[in-house]
Chains A and B, each alone.
Chain A
Amino acid sequence: GTYQPRFQIWSLASTVGKVPVEHLDYDFIEKCKDVKYLEKILRVLRSGDEGIYPHLIKFCESHLEKLHPRSPALRKENLVATAASLSNDEWSQIADELKTWQEENKKTETLLKQQSAFDDLVNENMPPIRGSNHSIPLSQVNVVSTDVCKHVHVCIEQKFDVEKECERIDVSEVESYPPAARITGDPKIKTKVDTSLLTQQEKLLLANREKDKGNEAFRAKDYEEAVAYYSRSLSIMPTVATYNNRAQAHINLKHWHSAMADCQSVLELEQGNVKALLRRATVHKHMGHFHLATEDLRKALMEEPQNAAATQLLSEIEKMKECQPEKQSKGKKILIQEVEEKDDNRNGKTKADGEIFF
């Protein structure tokens, strides 16, 4: 009987914006499940307007943390850390890294300076100067942007239709999201970079940056954009890591043949590359080449006997070989692919940086 009216006051208070004194109470706080209201109580307690209760503040904070660990009310101001606040090992590792970087940088800088003689050539290669002194009045928003939106809108609808088609075949699609961005895989991103006038140092820096851009797009699930930036990076300087990353982006897009080609490129450069073997095995599996997949996984396990992903994939393939004869119905096959893809995603998430990137 007493709780009911109390609750009414409570909900009223939460809308009006005042906290009655009787709510500044262990019992009430413990029972309160409303994060916003708890934050309000905390604000009143911290203000000291109703008295100073350090224990109650702590109690309220820890209760709020249980309900909403990321509550802005729980943020504490920290003093900046210094070398002294780290363990010796931690700091010396950071200091060493910094020192190595500085030394390498010095070399790069010297090399860059020697190349400055090419400046004039670079200038000739630059895009032309924009037509002179255009004026844009600040006031009116041009309607062009709406047209752009409409145009994009049309493209998207077509895209969604394709995905609907897939859904019809496969019910378990619910978990996989459509690509994040509207304008994914924009054809306007050039996939080749003109490097004719770049020095080796510049190429290295640029190739790394384009790869970073690819990784960012990958994390945002814009796999087509990721492929475009990995391609730019590869056009500047092909590396095992970038081929491997592009292979994974292709796999996520279900571009099996392109994924295969990228894995091959890695394996030509580095025979026993475990990631490439794993990814090629995945592709083989999706294409129904169970024997080739098994072969790749065995090779991967020779390189890394403890590789959990390889072991798992191998046992899955063994199962598939048992329950599924050579020619399966298309529907079933895709269903199994989906189950597999979820695992891939999980792997990708937990080990995103270690596994997929670099």
Chain B
Amino acid sequence: MSSPLSKPQIIAHIQKSLNYTVFDSKWIPCSAKFVSLGNFARGTGVMQIYEVQHGEAQLIKEVEKPKPIKCGTFGATSLQQRHIATGDFDGNLNIWNLEIPEVPVYSVKAHKEIVNSIDGVGGLGIGDGAPEIVTGSRDGTVKVWDPRQRDSPVANMEPMEGETKRDCWTVAFGHAFNDQDRCVCAGYDNGDIKLFDLRNMSVRWETNIKNGVCCVEFDRKDINMNKLVATSLEGKFHVFDMRTQHPTKGFASVSEKAHKSTIWQVRHLPQNRDIFMTAGGAGNLHLWKYEYPAQRSKKDSDNVDVGVAGTVNLLQNATLSTQPIASLDWSPDKQGLCVCSGFDQCVRVLIVTKLNVV
């Protein structure tokens, strides 16, 4: 345990008010620039690029798009190209070259309704497999796309005919530790969490956390899946140890009631998978560290392996605003640097100190 002096501090470095509702903000890899996505009051979409310079966020590019943009990812692009993939209110998946963002380099009508969530893998040297993008939508489907294939997804996870369609709020890649294994985790409005195995094209595991699942994230995408965090509508989050799957009990987990209201986001520190930040409905951030138990699995009465969950410790918290913080992104390059955006129409650049000593 760290002494009070070595406790990480969450420092508000830059705060920028925007003239639109911002839904997502993402660092451009290998740069001090971030992209901010949202919608103008007149109903159109907007994509802005900011550069952090001399303690300020300077707007260097802005483009308006027909539909509000809900979410974005750089996970499936190469380091040289650094194209961003976005999902919009109309169900479109677009990929943009930020040098010439006027026309998308890839565009597909991915869903019938809004794309709530997007994630990418296979780019930026993350994992050895193909570059792929996953989208989750209010239309109840989760689809996987390969930017090299134009019109149809490479995998489609949809309810059977006659089944109730659930609103999919969040998707995340994981388990991409070689060129074949890969999983997608999806969270739904009714508390369902489903883990899809893309190698075997099957549902590998499912559970229900009783409240709408706002965000899921693996601690790292490109390792043998290790941990998964799922956050919920009523302020709780669950950490699952994904290393030991019991045939009936599934994965062991620990949960924590951390925020007074909805936890909108969880993001693991890119440089240390056991540290993560949750962003909540009351405008606050909580920084956590997962501690492994002495033994991560044991034998149950039938001599079958069952996982043992660890504990989570709060390292720091900070209130930024009275409005919810809806998105958060750690810089992949500079440890402790992060950008977040909230319903108060602000993007903030934060610096979290002393992360290397916790």
Contacts and interface: CB of A to CB of B under 8 A. Distances in A.
B216 to A, nearest CB: 15
B297 A182 contact: yes
A135 B334 contact: no
Interface in A48-91: 70, 72, 75, 77-83, 85-86
B155 A134 contact: yes
B130 A129 contact: yes
A101 to B, nearest CB: 5
Interface in B241-269: 243-247, 256-257
Chain B interface, >50% SS class: loop
Contact of A136 (B181, B196, B353): B196
Nearest to B317: A78
B30 A70 contact: no
A292 interface: no
Interface stretch (B87-95, B109-117, B198-206): B198-206
A213 B149 CA distance: 31
A122 B274 CA distance: 32
B132 A149 contact: no
Given A126-B130, A133-B152, A80 B12 contact: yes
Interface residues of B, number: 93
Scoring A156, A178, A209 by chain B CB atoms within 10 A of each residue's CB, the highest score goes to A209
A1 B155 CA distance: 72
A134 B245 contact: no
Contact of B156 (A94, A123, A128, A136): A136
A148 to B, nearest CB: 7
A340 interface: no
What 7 pairs across the A-B complex have the smallest Cβ distances?
A: A142-B202, A80-B318, A130-B154, A180-B296, A146-B247, A127-B130, A181-B243
Interface of B: 9-13, 30-32, 52-53, 55, 78-82, 122, 125, 128-132, 144, 146, 148-149, 152-160, 163, 177-179, 181, 194, 196-198, 200-206, 220, 222-224, 226, 243-247, 256-257, 270-274, 284-285, 292, 294-297, 304-305, 313-314, 316-320, 333-334, 337, 350-351, 353, 356-357
Interface of A: 70, 72, 75, 77-83, 85-86, 94-95, 98, 101-102, 105-106, 108-109, 112-113, 115-116, 118-119, 122-123, 126-142, 144-146, 148-149, 152-153, 156, 177-178, 180-183, 186, 188-190, 193, 199, 201-202, 205-206, 209, 212-213, 216-217, 219-221, 225, 229, 353
12 contacts: A98-B52, A119-B81, A127-B130, A129-B146, A135-B157, A136-B201, A136-B202, A144-B202, A153-B305, A181-B296, A188-B178, A212-B271
